[in-house]
Structures are given as C-alpha cells and as structure tokens.
C-alpha cells in the first residue's frame, strides 16, 4: 500500500469516526434531555384558582364543567351541580402530576398508545383541557392508554398487571409522550359520573298526602307530634291504621336517591302522581312522579321545596354538667347550620327533572287499602 493510499484511508477513518462520535453525542444529549424531565411537573405553570372551565372529549362524547363563581355546573345537564370532591380531586391532582417516563414519539406512532386526536378512527385520545375565565386554554392534554405495572400475582386476572399510570401528550409538546403515575380513572366525558348525588332529605314528617287522581290509589297520613304514630285520614269506623305500613312509607323518604338528571323541563312531565309533604320544621315538599317512557325500571321525579328556616333554642337537660352543656350546645349549633344550608340547597332543586329507580319509590306509591290494618285470619 502506497503512502498516498494510507493517507486516504487514515482520513476516511477520521471522518467516519468523527461522524460516529457526533451522532453518539447527539443521541446522548437527546436522551439526557428526555431523562431530565423525570420528576418534573407536567403542568408546572397551572394555577388551580385560574381554572373556570374543564373540557373533556373523546370521539362523540363531550363534557363541560363550568364554574360560575360559586359552584361547578355540568353544561350537558342544564348546569346541574357537579360533585365537588371529584372536581377538586382533578384540579389539584393536575397541578401535581409528575413525569415518571418520557420518550420521543412521531405522529404516526401516536395511535399505539392512544394519544392520537380525540376524534381519530384509531388510537383516539381523551382530550382534557383547562380553560380560564376568558375561555382561553390554560393547559391541554391528550390522555392515552393506561400504563400497566408488574402483575402482583401470577394468577389469572392479574397476569397483565394493574394500571399504575397513564400515557399522555402535552399540547405544547406533541413530540414527546409522557407517563405519569396516575391512571386517571375518573376522567371520562360522561356527565352522569360527575353529577353531585346529594338529594333531598325529608325529615320530621308531619303529614304526607299522595294524589294519583284515583281515590283508591291515593292516601293521606298525619300525626300530631314527632314521636306520635301516623293515622290514615278518612278512615271509616272500625278501620285502624297499619302503623308498620305507615312507618315504612315515611322511612322510604329517607332513602330517596337519583341516578341521573333528565335533559327536560319540569313542566314537561305528564301523567304525574303528586305527593305533598309537610314537616314539623314548617317546610313543604311538593313532589311529582311520572313514568319514564319505554323504561319500567326508572321514573321521572321533580320536587319544589318551600318554607323558612327558623332557628330553635336547645332545651337544657336536668343535672347537665358544664362539659355536657358545651358539647350539646355545639352539636345543636352545628345542626342548625346544616338545616339552614340544606333548605337553601333544596330550594334550588325545582329547576331539574331527576331520574329515579322505580324500586326506591315502592314505599311511597301505595294504594290506600295498604294502610288499613287487616284482621288476622281465623284459625
């Protein structure tokens, strides 16, 4: 080999080696740059107090939680109040989400971990957007697949592991997929999941009257004191009120609950059964129950609450110690505050139509004869 050929070969070795070193250094810097995000907050500049609108979307489903300065409401349910703990959990967690893994990702690779566009045919993400009072986005995330940890048990059902995090893209950096240690199970665009399920609490019933439009299927029960027994109004001579039946009917009021809010106005209810309830607190509950078309397991339910809150004074007990007095005074004061807040909240519930399971109304929707004590059959 001549000196000229040797020199050319040496130059080629140096050039190729230089290129290799440069590429290695670039890859190392890229890896270090990605790795440097570990432990950092996903949304470091997000301020919870600035959030006034939460938008969640996945394909054709959409959810909008809007803060009016007092409460969070669900736009898709006519502004019905959202569950405060769920909203608080989301906003405060979002501020604390930290990166546990980061990798570069191309647009073609996004469907693999479900971080493509929310309306994509394959690998659609769940859009999570926090907006300010002016409607402008504060932060945008594209939530993807849940990250699975190592299976705790090598048995059927646990062989794929349990969700311990979630893949996501930040709107400001669509070239890097992140993993956070939160599966975000509650973040779904389903209004029914976000509804506040706090309902009316009818207590201290003085009188309850059901009017179905048919005398045989209507009744009225009343009592003179909170410790007294209910008596069926209009009972014929010789008829006695079935105390257990009356008690189970009033107890059914304590178990009232709803599963969803219907997208309709209370005035639209047809063929409604009316229930009128008076309490010893001076409150009145005007309830209407109507069948839900093509659904035997649910019914429509509306309620209008009227009355004024009257603070009462606690009657001290005999031989009450100073410690007992302080304790009972505090309990009474807290109860008064709860009742005042309850009445204020329940007065706002006349704006919506609730969907209630039919089986929970069985104790109320009874015929008059059910409250008449039947003689024991002769042996």
Cα distance between residue 306 and residue 206, in whole Å: 15
Cα distance between residue 174 and residue 117, in whole Å: 11
SS3 at position 271 = coil
SS3 at position 40 = coil
Q: Among the listed ranges 79-88, 195-204, 307-316, which one has the minimum average pLDDT value?
A: 307-316
Q: What is the mean pLDDT of residues 321-340?
A: 90
Per-residue pLDDT at 207: 97
Alpha helices in the chain (DSSP H): 3-35, 84-96, 191-194, 243-254, 322-346
Q: What is the mean pLDDT of residues 18-46?
A: 63
Contact 87, 54 (CB under 8 A): yes
Cα torsion for 274, 277, 283, 285, to the nearest 10°? -30
CA 344 from centre of chain:
21
Q: What angle do CA 59, 65, 66 make, to 5 degrees?
A: 135
271: left (phi over 0), alpha (psi -120 to 50) or beta: left
Q: Is the pLDDT of residue 266 over 70?
A: yes
Q: What is the mean pLDDT of residues 93-121?
A: 94
Query: Which of the 8 DSSP states describes residue 254?
Result: H
Contact 102, 177 (CB under 8 A): yes
Query: Which of the 8 DSSP states describes residue 44?
Result: T
User: For 166-221, how does the pLDDT look when each residue is reduced to its tens digit (9 = 90+)?
Assistant: 999 999 999 999 999 999 999 999 999 999 999 999 989 999 999 998 998 999 99
Q: What is the mean pLDDT of residues 314-322?
A: 85
Task: Using alpha carbons, list the distances in angstroms from residue 181 to 103, 175, 207, 270.
Answer: 15, 20, 54, 50
Contact 168, 143 (CB under 8 A): yes
Distance between start and end Cα atoms, the chain: 126
Instruction: Give the β-pairing of 72-74 and 80-81.
Output: antiparallel
Domain residue limits, the chain: 48-152+159-194, 205-371
237 or 5: which carries more pLDDT confidence?
Answer: 237
Q: Find all residues with CB under 8 Å of 203, minimum gap 6, and list them.
A: 254, 279, 281
CA 67 from centre of chain:
15
- For the chain, the average pLDDT equals 88
User: For 220-259, how does the pLDDT look when each residue is reduced to its tens digit (9 = 90+)?
Assistant: 999 999 999 999 999 888 889 999 999 999 999 988 999 9
What pLDDT band is residue 43 in, cutting at 50, 70 and 90? Answer: very high
């Amino acid at each position: 080999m001549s000196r000229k050929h040797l020199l050319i070969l040496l130059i080629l070795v140096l050039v190729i080696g230089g290129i290799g070193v440069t590429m290695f250094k670039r890859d190392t810097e890229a890896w270090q740059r990605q790795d440097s995000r570990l432990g950092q907050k996903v949304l470091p500049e997000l301020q919870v107090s600035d959030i006034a609108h939460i938008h969640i979307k996945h394909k054709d489903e959409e959810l909008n939680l809007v803060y009016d300065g007092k409460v969070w409401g669900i736009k898709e349910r006519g502004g019905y109040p959202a569950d405060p703990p769920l909203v608080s959990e989301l906003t405060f967690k979002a501020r604390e989400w930290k990166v546990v893994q980061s990798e570069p990702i191309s647009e073609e690779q996004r469907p693999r971990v479900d971080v493509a566009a929310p309306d994509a045919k394959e690998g659609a993400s769940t859009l999570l957007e926090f907006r300010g009072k002016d409607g402008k986005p504060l932060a945008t995330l594209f939530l993807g697949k849940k990250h699975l940890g190592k299976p705790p048990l090598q048995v059927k059902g646990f062989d794929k592991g349990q969700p311990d995090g979630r893949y996501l893209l930040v709107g400001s950096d669509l070239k890097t997929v992140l993993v956070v240690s939160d599966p975000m199970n509650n973040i779904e665009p389903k209004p029914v999941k976000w509804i506040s399920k706090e309902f009316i609490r009818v207590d201290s019933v003085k009188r309850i009257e059901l009017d179905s439009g048919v005398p045989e299927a209507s009744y009225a029960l009343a009592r003179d004191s909170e410790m007294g027994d209910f008596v069926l109004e209009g009972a014929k001579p010789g008829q006695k009120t079935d105390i257990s039946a009356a008690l189970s009917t009033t107890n059914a009021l304590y178990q009232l609950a709803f599963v969803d809010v219907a997208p309709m106005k209370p005035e639209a209810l047809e063929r409604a059964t009316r229930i009128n309830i008076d309490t010893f607190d001076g409150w009145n509950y005007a309830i209407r129950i109507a069948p839900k078309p093509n659904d035997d397991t649910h019914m429509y339910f509306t309620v209008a609450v009227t009355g004024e809150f009257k603070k009462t004074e606690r009657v001290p007990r005999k031989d009450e110690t100073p410690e007992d007095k302080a304790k009972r005074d505090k309990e009474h004061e807290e109860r008064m505050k709860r009742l005042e807040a309850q009445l204020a909240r329940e007065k706002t519930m006349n704006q919506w139509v609730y969907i209630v399971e039919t089986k929970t109304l069985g104790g109320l929707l009874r015929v008059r004869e059910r409250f008449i004590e039947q003689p024991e059959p002769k042996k």
